[in-house]
């Protein structure tokens, strides 16, 4: 079984704030719960993309091996 992450949605006067507990930086907001869900999906994609870019920059021309990784529980 693959590891599932936890999305948290909190009702606030302006709508909802949302974040993923296990992924720092993946947070957003929306006027409705559906909008917050959609925005959170995009925020997760952007955080992962930014982390990949930072890792590539840090590694520079180093010889590395990249492979898919699935966190199984």
What one-character DSSP code corresponds to residue 2? B
User: How many residues are present in the chain?
Assistant: 73
Locate the DSSP E strands across 1-73: 7-12, 15-20, 27-30
13-72 pLDDT, tens digit per residue, is 999 999 999 999 999 999 999 999 999 999 999 999 999 999 999 999 999 999 988 877
pLDDT at site 71? 79
Domains of the chain, by residue range, sit at: 7-59
Q: Is the pLDDT of residue 3 over 90?
A: no
pLDDT at site 72? 76
Of 67 and 2, the one with more pLDDT: 67
């Amino acid at each position: 079984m693959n590891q599932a992450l936890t999305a948290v949605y909190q009702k606030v006067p302006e709508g909802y704030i949302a974040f993923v507990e296990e992924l720092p930086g993946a947070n957003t907001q929306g006027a409705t719960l559906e909008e917050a869900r959609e925005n959170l999906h995009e925020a997760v994609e952007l955080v992962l993309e930014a982390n990949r870019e930072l890792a590539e920059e840090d590694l520079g021309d180093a010889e590395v091996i990249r492979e898919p990784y699935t966190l199984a529980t």
